[in-house]
Amino acid sequence: MLKERIENKKALVGVIGLGYVGLPLACAFARKGFRVVGIDRKKGRVDSVNRGESYIQDASSRELRGLVQNGLVRASTDYNNIRDCDVVQICVPTPVDENKVPNISYIVATSKKLSRVLHPDELVILKSTTFPMTTREVVLPILEKSGLKAGKDFFLAFSPERVDPGNKKYAIGNTPVVVGGIDETSTELAYLLYEKVVGKVKKVSSSEAAEFTKLLENTFRNVNIALVNEFALLADRMGINIWEVIDAAATKPFGFMPFYPGPGVGGHCIPIDPYYLSWKAKEYDFHTNFIEISAETNEGMPYYVVNTVISALSNTGICPKNASVLIIGVTFKRDVSDMRDSPSLKIIRALEDKVSKISYSDPFVEKINLRDSTYRALPLNEKTLKQFDCTLITTDHSSYDYDFIVRNSRLVIDTRNATKKVKEGREKIVLLGGGIFSNRR
Ligand SMILES: NC(=O)c1ccc[n+]([C@@H]2O[C@H](COP(=O)([O-])OP(=O)(O)OC[C@H]3O[C@@H](n4cnc5c(N)ncnc54)[C@H](O)[C@@H]3O)[C@@H](O)[C@H]2O)c1
């Protein structure tokens, strides 16, 4: 029986998609004693896992090697290797296209392949973020092409992934998980499974409620970042420092949660997931106004940063057309290597025809390929900093010495308040949200 195999950890667990979500998830299950088979369509990733070499920051190679050597983790490109799995978790990408329309083709392709190796008494859990109804209306009918009946022969649930890359406090093992199945048995089985691996599991009444939960969480973040970004733009005009205001508001012990402005939102979640909901909502004659307004603000931030750079250069007497800009930190957030949807990419593209030279420095990124150009990281030293007219901080990696950066730069545009502790040379710093466009100053 599947229930017993889960309870005594004899269940063989499959993970499809060994990326930022799938690989740490595979390790988390193996760490708790489950045998795990990972599937990825990229042979390079599969070979790397089988050698015990991690390519994801949140999965350590040392641990992975041990798990592989102990026979707890193995990987393959071939779905036949998950034929014997009792549980399969789907962690494939869910991007949007250039018109912000959800692209669930990875979920569809995976479900089709899975349906060919599905067997009775198996639990399938979709973890990829997606719009409500995907599990029941997209995945379920494809899996039933196997000839097996959902809720009778196999079980199906949705459980959103909450991994926060680079978060040292909360990882998969100590972050509560939400589960919702297409029926009670599926919910119960998913609940039992995650109870073995994570501290707390919250059951909801349906796969739709679980899908919606993830979109509420990420839209909440997106909307609040947009709100604080809008306040930062206003603060710039009013000559008020928004960072000081947020710190002050954060002293309120209830009813307020601090969010911080920045050059825009990035990664595979916050700028994308809300569009899954706004797209689906239209089917119900419903327009998700908060999502649209937030997108307008957040997606405008990189262009605001570019305008700030141009006016700061002009104010210091440098013609922007002849100026050189060094971008510091290009990943979408601090201390991670993920470049997906990073606002820095938009900033570089928008700056390309406005200044004479752009370069970047980032300890996590060796090279950036844009449509027409390739950039290679420069070392962050005195010689590099002194070569440029302007230093633009777009990601506040914690390894940077901000005193050193300010000391050796001519002009610093700080979009993250990374230089807040810098005492000397403050006159060179232009802080986003620092009241920079006030004519009162
Ligand atoms: N990255 C995050 O921080 C995060 C957090 C929570 C939720 N999510 C969600 O989790 C899902 C996965 O995101 P990710 O960041 O891990 O993506 P990713 O691109 O890092 O990894 C996905 C992996 O799936 C593989 N893949 C694609 N199609 C496949 C197929 N048909 N068969 C086998 N393998 C296939 C890819 O090769 C890739 O290795 C997305 O829905 C995302 O929104 C991501």
Q: Which of 402 and 57 is assigned the larger pLDDT?
A: 402
DSSP letters of 353-421? TTSSEEEEE-TT-SEEE-SS-EEEPPP-SHHHHHH-SEEEE-S--TT--HHHHHHT-S-EEESS-TTTT
- Give the model's confidence band at 199: pLDDT under 50 very low, under 70 low, under 90 confident, else very high: confident
CATH number of the domain enclosing 411: 3.40.50.720
The mean pLDDT of the chain is 96
DSSP letters of 219-250? HHHHHHHHHHHHHHHHHHHHT--HHHHHHHHT
**pLDDT at res. 440:** 60
**pLDDT at res. 438:** 83
Show the tokens assigned to 93.
């990408």
Atom of ligand 1 nearest to the CA of 338: 1
Q: Tens digits of per-residue pLDDT, 174-192?
A: 999 999 999 999 999 999 9
Q: Tens digits of per-residue pLDDT, 49-83?
A: 999 999 998 899 999 999 999 999 999 999 999 99
Number of domains in the chain: 2
Sign of the four-CA dihedral 297, 301, 303, 309: positive
| Nearest of 75, 108, 77, 117 to residue 90 by alpha carbon | 108
Residues at CB less than 6 angstroms from ligand 1: 16-22, 39-42, 45, 91-94, 106, 109-110, 128-129, 161, 163, 165, 268-269
Query: Which structural domain, as residue segments, surrounds residue 207?
Result: 2-214
- The whole-model pTM stands at 0.95
Query: Are 177 and 311 contained in the same domain?
Result: no
Rounded to an integer, the average pLDDT of 25-48 is: 98
Domain assignment present for 43: yes
Q: Are 318 and 355 in contact (CB under 8 A)?
A: no
Mutate to test the pocket of ligand 1, among 20, 159, 172, 219 (most ligand atoms within 8 A of CB): 20
**pLDDT at res. 166:** 85
Task: Determine which of 4-13, 84-93, 226-235, 365-374 has the lowest per-residue pLDDT on average.
Answer: 365-374
Domain assignment present for 66: yes
Query: Are 188 and 334 contained in the same domain?
Result: no
Q: Residue whose CA is closest, atom 24 of ligand 1?
A: 17
Active site residues: 269
Atom of ligand 1 nearest to the CA of 17: 24
Mutate to test the pocket of ligand 1, among 124, 268, 332, 340 (most ligand atoms within 8 A of CB): 268
Query: Are 73 and 193 contained in the same domain?
Result: yes
Domain assignment present for 256: no
Question: What is the CA(150)–ligand 1 centre distance, in A?
Answer: 24
Domain assignment present for 257: no
Question: What is the CA(53)–ligand 1 centre distance, in A?
Answer: 18
